[in-house]
Amino acid sequence: MGGVTPALHAVKISQRFGETQVLHEVSLEVARGEVVAVMGPSGSGKSTLLHLLGGLGQPQSGEVYWEGVRVDSLSVEARAKRRVRALGLVFQHHYLLPDLSLLDNLRVPGMILGEDLTGRAEELLRQVGLGGRGQVYPEVLSGGERQRLAVARALMARPAVLLADEPTGSLDRANAAKVAQLMIDLARENASGVLLVTHDEHLAALADRQIHLLDGRVVTGAEAAGAALLLAPSA
């Protein structure tokens, strides 16, 4: 790991569920400010990979580093504490807290850190097009607005890297494009890397580079082209 320390670095991650080998020695890096798309057909191991990279589980073998610190060997509590600052997480569903206002949803990371991030929350609300609506509740928002708020929450603590698992999968094409571009623009503004897991070629095209998974392995060349064909919509 010479030179500039990656925001996220995985070394030969492998994972098995029962008799099924889901990941086979997957290695990757994401730098601050870089957008990397992980693509692959259903069942290729994309979401399992993101789960492990986010410290939400431990790989059976391999290593995971956040900003140069190995985290796969830490306790669940230690990983969770470090995750608040190191990572932002965005999923297909927003997972907003319905009983909290928009402003308070954004203030949650600050509450965990013991910091008052109200000013940061208000600025992000403006940036995602929800300025002046901090006291309303998520139920009044459209699907696209909720996902924009989820992106803002993920960036509250200025993480080293944003992990996004099919972040626009629940949106129509027009809203998906807007949310994706906003997420990438805000992440770059914050010098956060982005690791984007998707089967959507339009979304992956926004990335600086792509990594293709097939049957739990990183593939290149002809194999990557074959994996891409599996993602193509049926005629």
Question: How many CB atoms lie under 10 A from the CB of residue 13?
Answer: 24
The string of pLDDT tens digits covering residues 169-200 is: 888 888 888 999 999 999 999 999 999 999 88
List the structure tokens of 168.
């626009």
Closest by CA position to 232, among listed 204, 208, 194, 193:
204
Say whether domain 8-96+144-231 belongs to CATH 3.40.50.300: yes
Closest by CA position to 211, among listed 50, 68, 55:
50
For 99, counting Cβ atoms within 10 Å of its Cβ (0-12 exposed, 13-18 middle, 19+ buried), the class is: exposed
pLDDT given at position 117: 92
Full strand arrangement of the beta sheet holding 61-66: 20-30, 8-17, 61-66, 69-70
pLDDT at 221 over 80: no
Q: What is the pTM of this model?
A: 0.88
CA atoms of 152 and 10, how far apart (whole Å): 26
pLDDT at 148 over 60: yes
Indicate the domain borders of the chain: 8-96+144-231
Average pLDDT over residues 79-107: 93
Mean per-residue pLDDT over the chain, rounded: 91
Confidence grade of residue 3 (pLDDT, cut at 50, 70, 90): confident
